[in-house]
Structure 1
Amino acid sequence: MLGPGDASMRADIRFQADEQGGTFHIRTKDVPDAAFRIQADIGRAGDLILQTCLLPPREKPYDLALELARHRMKTYIHKCEDWLMFNPGFAPFAAEHFERARDVFTEALVAPDLDAEGLLAASAIDLGMQATDELAMAHADILLHRRYGKKTASSTTLGTIIDPRTDPALIGPTLEAFDLVTVPMRWREVESKRGKYDFTALDRWLTWAHDTGKPIIAGPLVDFSPGALPDWAEVFRFDYASLRDPLYDYLEQVVTRYIKHVGMWKISAGLHLCRGGPRPITEVIDAIRTAELLIRRHKRTARRMIEVHDLFGDTTARVSGSIGAFEFLERLGAEGLRFDSIGARLIVGGTEPGTRSRDLMTLSDSLDRFFGDEHPLLLSACGAPCRDLGEGAGRWGEAWTPDRQASWAAKVIPMALSKPYVEAICWSAHTDNATPDPGGESGFGIVEEDGTPRPAFARLVSMRRRLRRPLGPWVPPGAHPPAQAGDGSGPSNE
């Protein structure tokens, strides 16, 4: 359930089956008006997370399909206003589908019976999904040309995340096309026995990066998620007073060893979700502050990043002690913690809350929430799977396959780079074992374990090559000659 501002909230939800399908009985605990979020198979568009508008409580059940369609109509109108995209010439296909969706939705409102209402509402959802996705991509195309029409992308625009356990000689050739590489650092693997540090794998990759001139993002340094702590430290998981000293010793060893070789430090990743169990926010802040001060002590100019997960708030209402990504960033700012960039994890097709399949408009809207923040944004882990990962993962249009993964990358990467505050993007896993889905599966890699590229790899390389030269002015659909750029009119930069 969601409250005002799409803030996650706890609620008592019961489902009662009946001859019409069933009824959700919902009792909210915090505010009376609430929105209902649900994963639904909606046919052509996929098996996706959708939601309703804020609904006041009442005895008579709402028609779920009708309310999902209503929210889709609202989303289109809201983003047209937000992006200054009301001119149909900016997105003619989106405008056409929206008009059809609105007509069908109106018919559903006056349908003579529930069966007709349900069919019309389902059609309105489908048309509305087409309209919002097309609007998101049309807006992205305009802003991408505005951003890169007269200049090339920076030399650190596209990266990928590797698994330190893999051999650089095996996958190194497929990394040549990427601007930067993220090297995960896992306490469990570095210090499997207390006081005994094994830097073999990390040394191999940092040496490779030095030899090839690849900038490195390293981390997370602080990670309390399941499986992150060494076995000997698990006994201290909920005893931070005892965990703090060995954590500091580990951080000191890592930072001292690699401070001259790392371009940016990922201090933490998703600590606000408390996946490893409830943890007071004061302990989280202390651990982050310790790492931040340690890095600055060794090199004051070293760049530091805080990574947030689940931009949609799915986990917050489910995991005790968790707080939302944006609330967490506000708290860090209030505590005076200093960092250079925000990292955001944008994953779909996973089985964990916050990683399930979503439509393009929802992804674009989630990135818009960073608009106006003083910190540059890195999509520090962005990806979709090449296969179905199991129950709850959903699908984006067709089922997840290597080709579907490539199609998703071809749309989402340009959409993200069109946002002027997005500094760089790292694909979430170069090979499947780089960053397994926390739900228990892996499949986000763009390269096979033997170094064979998948279709998404070619798409990413092609996009990076395209941005090595200016794109030129944006051409409106069907317009001849090309429109002149820089006249001060047109869609918003948000």
Structure 2
Amino acid sequence: MRGGPLLDLSPNGLPKWLDQWGHDFFNLQSFLCDFVETAVSRYHGKIRLWEVSARVNTGGALNLTEENCLTLVARTLEVARRVDEESQFLIRIEQPWGTYQSRGQHRLAPVQFVDALLRCGVGLAGVNLEIAVGYSDRGSASRDSLDFSRLLDVWSSLEIPLHITLAFPSSSQPDPQADQGIGIEPNSWKSDWSEAAQAEWIDTFLPLLIAKQSVTGIYWSHLTDAAPHDFPNAGLIDATGRPKIAMQSLVEHSKSHWQQ
């Protein structure tokens, strides 16, 4: 069983009551470490794979500096590891190509951020790369198979398991259940955003991900568009409860690659 993320360091990712502690990093760190300790302790022996924190490389929560984010992530990993030495603890990296660095607010590339944690020896057991294609702000631009392969090869050099979380829009229409701060890019992949394009994108890139030895887990961002979620129209089931074409595509790949 997989749990988390326990913390989300993106803008508005932390509870509002923590806003008053935004300028008191030491107390803020104490509160968050206590929460991580409580959650991991409660499910000790039941959950063996934890995503401790998400979107740690881009940050934005409570205007934390990059250095503070790195310190906070390292400390929470240490706490989780101390509570449960047998479980595996991951972090999630968004925009793994590092396109957000063009804003000039970050010194470390995504892979450098994770490498720094590994050098600290805080018990990081793997990294979850969030690849959300077609979205503004927190997404990545469309890439070809060669770019995907190169990205995974770079991350594989860290010699830790890679988990991949995917998102791709099935429509450019407004999605009232999605995070309203995340928009859909006007420039599409090969054709207009549609259910067929979503399924074709899966058919193109999923076999590549499966073939990479370093990739040990592949996830879709969310199941249904009927429940609150981050990325607009990325669910495998639409808001009316109807499965999209992408759902069948994933089922077929599962039967082809994983089932005997």
Query: TM-score w.r.t. structure 2 length?
Result: 0.86
What SS class does the counterpart of residue 101 from structure 2 fall into? coil
What SS class does the counterpart of residue 316 from structure 1 fall into? helix
Task: For 1:244, give the aligned amino acid.
Answer: Q
Higher relative contact order (CA 8 A, sep 6+): 1
Task: For 1:436, give the aligned amino acid.
Answer: D
Aligned ranges 1:89-488 → 2 under 5 Å:
216-276=1-61, 278-318=63-103, 320-321=105-106, 323-352=108-137, 354-379=139-164, 381-388=165-172, 392-432=185-225, 433=227, 435-437=229-231, 442-469=232-259
Size of the alignment, in residue pairs?
250
- Residue 136 (structure 1) aligns with: none
Q: Cα distance 1:406–1:222, how it changes in 2: closer, same or farther (>3 A)?
A: same
Q: Cα distance 1:245–1:405, how it changes in 2: closer, same or farther (>3 A)?
A: same
2:133 and 2:112 map into 1 onto residues whose CA distance is 22
1:288 and 1:295 map into 2 onto residues whose CA distance is 11
Task: For 1:402, give the aligned amino acid.
Answer: E
Question: Identity of paired residues, percent?
Answer: 24
1:246 and 1:322 map into 2 onto residues whose CA distance is 27
What SS class does the counterpart of residue 82 from structure 2 fall into? helix
Q: Cα distance 1:254–1:393, how it changes in 2: closer, same or farther (>3 A)?
A: farther
1:376 and 1:311 map into 2 onto residues whose CA distance is 15
Task: For 2:64, give the aligned amino acid.
Answer: R
1:267 and 1:313 map into 2 onto residues whose CA distance is 21
Aligned-pair CA distance for 1:238 = 3.8
Q: Which runs of 4+ in 1 moved over 4 A?
A: none
2:204 and 2:224 map into 1 onto residues whose CA distance is 21
Aligned-pair CA distance for 1:311 = 1.7
**Alpha-carbon contact 1:278-1:320 (below 8 Å) kept:** no
Task: For 2:202, give the aligned amino acid.
Answer: A
**Alpha-carbon contact 1:348-1:384 (below 8 Å) kept:** yes
- Residue 176 (structure 2) aligns with: none
Q: Cα distance 1:258–1:469, how it changes in 2: closer, same or farther (>3 A)?
A: closer
**Alpha-carbon contact 2:133-2:168 (below 8 Å) kept:** yes
Measured on the aligned residues, the alpha-carbon RMSD in Å equals: 2.2
2:184 and 2:259 map into 1 onto residues whose CA distance is 42
Q: Cα distance 1:293–1:330, how it changes in 2: closer, same or farther (>3 A)?
A: closer
Aligned-pair CA distance for 1:332 = 1.1
What SS class does the counterpart of residue 6 from structure 2 fall into? coil
Query: TM-score w.r.t. structure 1 length?
Result: 0.47
What SS class does the counterpart of residue 284 from structure 1 fall into? helix
Larger radius of gyration: 1
What SS class does the counterpart of residue 111 from structure 2 fall into? helix
Aligned-pair CA distance for 1:296 = 2.3
1:238 and 1:443 map into 2 onto residues whose CA distance is 36
Task: For 2:27, give the aligned amino acid.
Answer: S
Aligned-pair CA distance for 1:319 = 5.4
2:73 and 2:88 map into 1 onto residues whose CA distance is 14
Consecutive unaligned residues of structure 2, counting only runs of 5 or more, are 174-182
Consecutive unaligned residues of structure 1, counting only runs of 5 or more, are 1-215, 471-494
What SS class does the counterpart of residue 315 from structure 1 fall into? helix
Residues 68-88 of structure 1: CA deviation (Å, up to 9, x unaligned): xxxxxxxxxxxxxxxxxxxxx
